[in-house]
Amino acid sequence: MGHDSPSGDGTTGTGGAPGLVTFADVEEAAGRIAGVVRRTPLTRTHGLDAVAGRPVWCKEENRQRTGSFKIRGALNRIARLPPSSRVVAASAGNHAQAVALAATTCGLPAVVHVPDNASLPKVEATRAYGAEVRFSGPTVDDCITAARAEAARTGAVYVAPFDDPGVIAGQGTIGLELLDQMAEAGVGPATVLVPVGGGGLVSGVAAALADSPHRVWGVEAAGCASMTASLAAGRPVTVSDVATIADGIAVKSPSALTLAHVEALVERVVTVDDEAIGRAIVVLLERAKSVVEPSGAVPLAAVLAGVVDVDGPVVCVQSGGNVDALLLVRLIEHGMTASGRYLRLEVVVPDRPGGLARATQALADEGLNIVGVEHHREGVDVAIGTVAVEFTVETRGPDHRDRALAALRTAGWQVTDLTGDC
């Protein structure tokens, strides 16, 4: 089979458009990766339904091998290579691990170029899956340049993270599983929400669901909405500024191939900000007992933010769960703050015995649980005889936060909200 398209001839695909992946391509990929890739669960919890106010189903690719959906596309691409092939790729995370495992499964050597500041757990996981890791510069773009140069120099096959029909067809196997699982569960016409970075995942899922009653929407991080910009321009657009906690989908530009799929097969692409993503991470932890990385939480974030303005059930494709423990702690704190459940207050307190005790008692009287205290005597514009004390407190939610702040100020305390949410 050729390598220019999943069907081998690079001709007409889904919907009659040249170059698009077809349903048959996705079915072929499913047969190729069977036995290695897991059929991940489609789950529904009453907790998420209650928060969202509608039926919410989650396709848990965070429980996939390597911790993300990426193994599907990488294995479908690599399994088609001749046995004498060498593989090279570039990635800061999930694609690196997927290529490593796929190459090892196929008995092929692999080199993965990673940024100099790549997460140590992800680097070690990539090595453990069997790939050689090379540090190739400060950014992923530097690594892509190095990987492509190595492929050109050595004849190795460069495996792209999304700009490849074989990769797209492999990712589309999620859509095949959804068709079976939604039918088994009796899920009526649903809106399937898919994270969008480079566009390979949403392209594949949309190809698989193109002739079904289900609609497919893409969800981007507002801090790197390159697909939205490209759709508006009618061509791939590169965004200059990237600012989002969802680093797994922080791709500066889609490819012409993925843009063509989205234009033809995806109903809408919406964006969500980091505050919404942070809230979704916390909700998934608390209500679904599910650890999901920021990029995998954007579908639920879109639901909770109210940007999915159509009726009926939603299916959230949770694309991955690879988040190290230290980052997860920061993400939880971020999400708690975004949900109004963490509050950072600066309270001006009399600088005399009992002053701090009075302040802490005032917070306790409002039901605020103190988790951190920090004094500031220098560099703070407060009157002589007073001291600024910074408190980090837990609340029961936005309403409790607002009531507590109002009550403290009414009682005469000089209080500044440092979280910026009020």
Q: Are residues 328 and 349 in the same domain?
A: no
Q: Give the pLDDT score at 398.
A: 82
- Provide the domain limits for residue 310: 14-68+167-335
Q: Are residues 33 and 135 in the same domain?
A: no
| Domains in the chain, number | 3
CATH number for the domain spanning 124: value is 3.40.50.1100
Q: Give the pLDDT score at 372.
A: 84
Q: Are residues 186 and 214 in the same domain?
A: yes
pLDDT in tens, 320-356: 999 877 777 877 777 777 777 788 888 898 888 888 8
Q: Are residues 150 and 177 in the same domain?
A: no
pLDDT in tens, 146-161: 999 999 999 999 999 9
CATH number for the domain spanning 410: value is 3.30.70.260
Domain boundary among 289, 315, 335: 335
Domain membership flag for residue 347: yes
Q: Are residues 241 and 350 in the same domain?
A: no
Q: Are residues 287 and 365 in the same domain?
A: no
Domain membership flag for residue 96: yes
C-alpha 254: how far from chain center:
16
Q: Are residues 355 and 374 in the same domain?
A: yes
Q: Are residues 282 and 196 in the same domain?
A: yes
Domain membership flag for residue 3: no
Domain membership flag for residue 160: no
Residues in the chain: 422
pLDDT surpasses 90 at 375: no
pLDDT in tens, 100-115: 999 999 999 999 999 9
Domain membership flag for residue 241: yes
- Mean pLDDT for 45-70 is 96
- Asked if 111 and 146 touch (Cβ cutoff 8 Å), the reply is no
Domain boundary among 111, 133, 155: 155
Q: Are residues 201 and 275 in the same domain?
A: yes
pLDDT in tens, 199-212: 999 999 999 999 99
Q: Are residues 215 and 311 in the same domain?
A: yes
Q: How confident is the model at residue 378 (pLDDT cuts 50, 70, 90)?
A: low
Q: Are residues 318 and 360 in the same domain?
A: no
Give the phi and the psi of residue 105 in degrees, each rounded to 5. -60, -35
Domain membership flag for residue 117: yes
Domain membership flag for residue 6: no
Domain boundary among 335, 359, 388: 335
Domain membership flag for residue 9: no
C-alpha 316: how far from chain center:
11
pLDDT in tens, 215-236: 999 999 999 999 999 999 999 9
Q: What is the pTM of this model?
A: 0.82
Distance (Å) of CA 135 to CA 71, 323, 390: 22, 20, 41
Q: Are residues 285 and 253 in the same domain?
A: yes
- Residue in this structure with the two tokens 């992946």, named with its chain if needed: 21
The sign of the dihedral angle between the CA atoms of 152, 156, 160, 163 is positive
pLDDT surpasses 60 at 5: no
